[in-house]
Amino acid sequence: MRTLSRWLTGLAAGALAWGVAAPAQADILGDIAGDFESALSSGSYAWALLLIFGAGLATALTPCVYPMIAITVSIFGARQAKSKAEGALLSFSFVLGIAALFTPLGIISALTGSAMGSALANPWVLAVLAILFLAMALSMFGAWDMNLPPALQNKLAQVGGAGYKGAFGVGFVNGLIAAPCTGPVLTVLLTYVGTTQSVAFGALSLFVYSLGLGVLFFVVGTFAVSLPKSGKWLDHVKSFFGVVMLVLAFYYLRSILPLPRPVVRETLWLAIPAGLLLFGVAVGAIHLSFKEGTKLQKARKAVGVTAAVVGGLGLIFWLEALPAGAHIEWIEDYEAGFAMAEETGKPMLVDFGADWCGACNDLEHEAMSDPRVVAEAQRFVPVRVDLSADQATPEKWALLRERYEQPGLPLVVMHGADGDEAHRVTGLVSADEFLEMLRATN
């Protein structure tokens, strides 16, 4: 569930790309791929990938995509295929076309991740992101239509044709035609990918999203099944995305607005937001409409959306909080911590992190909250350098980039009692690996 909260904070994506200075590209790709393989082998990303596939499938159920499935399948010839095998190959070529459009976005977002992190430390950038998600939410609720010009849609629809190459081409442009409904999900997803700074995860996550988006096309093209007719349920899907976008809008403002958040997980902090979320859905956050119905029904919709957003935001805060007793007591002043380590002759543990950094949050929850790690950290002088939007300073960024020569987050450094650097962590590691490095630092 922690991955769910981080993926939601980061379900939001956008084709927002930022750049980063880094060492030789081959070394970066090797290191990132290694970090990703380690994380994946421990199951850290499995739930996130499942959610990403579900987001792609949910996007296929929106009014931008769903009504066009049967027509699109006929365009590239799957309906006229001589066998199921041929229909499957044509449909798979179509899905690969979608993947060819989206997968590079994941790679670009991962490679440019740390600059995005720097941008997310700027309150003005956070405010712009919040406004963007608010605008998307209003579009999902029907306040305004976010569509491509009809002439451009018709021109794109003429690309491709029958056959495998045609199916691939139709899949590629279908992603562009569906942009009004894929945009909100992609904005969330690419933002999260950027904070992980993993090329492997960036490519895989966008490929998995493409599979989710194309799975209904594949089923219809291969088995010639008939899908349920379009109806109000499509608007319900858009309302769901609207609620998610509003949650994200306020989430990005969490460091600007005085929003209460638990430090550790408590039952009350779970019960209240869960109750509000269920109440909001029951009252009408999803199944009622702002465009139709009586004034009372529209008021119910507004109350439901408000309750669902507050509840959803509260659940994310609860999921991000650490379990009781699983928290290292950090010193927030680096210079004071360094002086204390020299005076006492203790090793020093330095953690560079930020609340916008998905990989940093993963590292804290998966490794540094382990009771064994917390206990072992007591013989260190633990120092945290917080680069969150409301805490970052030029001096802190200079400490990261100049003193430690690290272009981005995450970064955890273990100094021995002599002050020399003993170990450095720049990606997600297991609690066992982290504990082993702590024990080896003297």
Q: Where are the domains of the chain?
A: 2-261, 266-320, 334-439
Its pTM stands at 0.51
Task: Give residue 358's pLDDT.
Answer: 66
> How far is residue 238's CA from residue 236's CA, in Å, rounded to a whole number?
5
Give the E-state strand segments of 232-292 in sequence order. none
- Comparing 4-18, 68-82, 105-119, 331-345, the range with the smallest average pLDDT is 4-18
Strand order in the sheet with 421-425: 381-386, 348-353, 411-415, 421-425
Task: Give residue 421's pLDDT.
Answer: 94
CATH class of the domain defined by 334-439: alpha beta
Run of H or E residues at 318: helix 295-320
> How far is residue 143's CA from residue 139's CA, in Å, rounded to a whole number?
5
pLDDT band at residue 15 using 50, 70 and 90 as cut-offs:
very low
- Looking at the chain, the whole-number percentage of residues with pLDDT higher than 70 is 71
User: How many CB atoms sit inside 10 A of residue 375's CB?
Assistant: 12
Task: Give residue 267's pLDDT.
Answer: 82
pLDDT over 80 at 314, yes or no:
yes
pLDDT over 90 at 230, yes or no:
no
pLDDT band at residue 263 using 50, 70 and 90 as cut-offs:
low
- Comparing 194-198, 276-280, 341-345, 395-399, the range with the smallest average pLDDT is 194-198
Chain-centre distance of CA 65, in angstroms? 22
Per-residue DSSP letters for 334-399?
Answer: HHHHHHHHHHHT--EEEEEE-TT-HHHHHHIIIIITSHHHHHHGGGSEEEEEE-STTT--HHHHHI
Run of H or E residues at 7: helix 2-9
- Residue 193 structure tokens: 């990918």
- Looking at the chain, the whole-number percentage of residues with pLDDT higher than 90 is 23
Model pLDDT for residues 286-313, shown as the tens digit of each residue:
989 888 889 999 999 999 999 999 999 8
pLDDT over 80 at 252, yes or no:
no
- Residue 96 structure tokens: 């690969």
Average pLDDT over residues 379-388: 92
Q: What are the residues facing 352 on neighbouring strands?
A: 385, 411
Backbone angles phi, psi at 159, to 5 degrees: -75, 145
Contacts of 39 by beta carbon, 8 Å cutoff, 6+ apart: 45, 198, 201, 362, 427, 428
> How far is residue 167's CA from residue 185's CA, in Å, rounded to a whole number?
24
**Upper half-sphere CA count for residue 385 (Cβ side, 13 Å):** 27
- Residue 263 structure tokens: 């430090």
Task: Give residue 229's pLDDT.
Answer: 67
Average pLDDT over residues 5-19: 35
Average pLDDT over residues 358-387: 87
pLDDT band at residue 195 using 50, 70 and 90 as cut-offs:
low
The chain-wide mean pLDDT, for the chain, equals: 76
3-state secondary structure of 12: strand
Tell which wins on pLDDT, 304 or 8. 304
Average pLDDT over residues 163-182: 73
pLDDT band at residue 379 using 50, 70 and 90 as cut-offs:
very high
Tell which wins on pLDDT, 436 or 168. 436
> How far is residue 93's CA from residue 262's CA, in Å, rounded to a whole number?
48
Model pLDDT for residues 41-89, shown as the tens digit of each residue:
444 567 778 888 888 888 888 766 777 777 677 666 665 667 778 878 8
> How far is residue 262's CA from residue 322's CA, in Å, rounded to a whole number?
9
- Residue 227 structure tokens: 């899908």
3-state secondary structure of 295: helix
Model pLDDT for residues 135-151, shown as the tens digit of each residue:
878 877 876 655 545 55
Tell which wins on pLDDT, 290 or 181. 290
3-state secondary structure of 330: coil
- Comparing 198-207, 258-267, 350-359, the range with the smallest average pLDDT is 258-267
Contacts of 256 by beta carbon, 8 Å cutoff, 6+ apart: 123, 126, 127, 389, 390
For every residue of 20-54, which 3-state class applies, written as one string? CCCCCHHHHHHHHHHHHHHHHHCCCCHHHHHHHHH
Average pLDDT over residues 333-348: 93
pLDDT over 50 at 29, yes or no:
no
Tell which wins on pLDDT, 101 or 80. 101
Task: Give residue 9's pLDDT.
Answer: 38
Run of H or E residues at 422: strand 421-425
Task: Give residue 225's pLDDT.
Answer: 67
Give the E-state strand segments of 165-244 in sequence order. none
pLDDT over 70 at 214, yes or no:
yes
Task: Give residue 123's pLDDT.
Answer: 67
400 to 130, 284, 316, 387, 411: CA distances (angstroms): 27, 48, 28, 10, 8
Task: Give residue 141's pLDDT.
Answer: 82
pLDDT over 60 at 152, yes or no:
no
Average pLDDT over residues 216-243: 77
User: How many CB atoms sit inside 10 A of residue 99's CB?
Assistant: 23
Task: Give residue 381's pLDDT.
Answer: 96
Place of tokens 């350098």: 385
pLDDT over 60 at 100, yes or no:
yes
pLDDT band at residue 391 using 50, 70 and 90 as cut-offs:
confident
Task: Give residue 436's pLDDT.
Answer: 94
Nearest to 241 by CA among 4, 55, 5: 55
Beta strand 381-386 with 348-353 is parallel
